[in-house]
Amino acid sequence: GVGYGLTYRAAAPRRIATIATGYADGFARQGASRGCAWLDDIRLPVVGRISMDSLALDISDVPDSRLSPDMTVDLIGPRRGVDAVAEAAGTIGYEILTALGHRYHRDYIAA
């Protein structure tokens, strides 16, 4: 199982990646089962509970040629905006943005 209390159990073999972000960084624990990250055009579901400093992603759909230890994924971005993240967590976008800690990489894009 994956996550606190082993809340995620795969029905078949899966590849799981752990990334260094969690609720201590302001990433909401609520809605974890509806959460995801994106690697370009590939959706990576969050599996298990979000931990203090990490979360687990199902990377089974990522081709081996695209995997690397230093790859980055989008938790909030063009494919899943802050309002979608907030809706999954049962809150509003401003709460998500103001909770994000200093360890997040940010790209500011003119509106």
CB of 43 closer than 8 Å to CB of 77: no
Q: Which of 85, 77, 26 is nearest to 52 (CA)?
A: 26
Q: Per residue in 50-102, pLDDT tens?
A: 899 999 999 999 999 999 998 999 999 889 999 999 998 889 999 988 998 88
- Look at the alpha carbons of 72, 99, 89, 92 in this order and tell me if their dihedral is positive or negative: negative
Q: What's the predicted TM-score (pTM) here?
A: 0.85
In whole angstroms, give the CA distance from residue 33 to residue 43: 14
In whole angstroms, give the CA distance from residue 83 to residue 33: 16
Domain range list for the chain: 4-99
CATH topology of domain 4-99: Lyase, Ornithine Decarboxylase; Chain A, domain 1 (2.40.37)
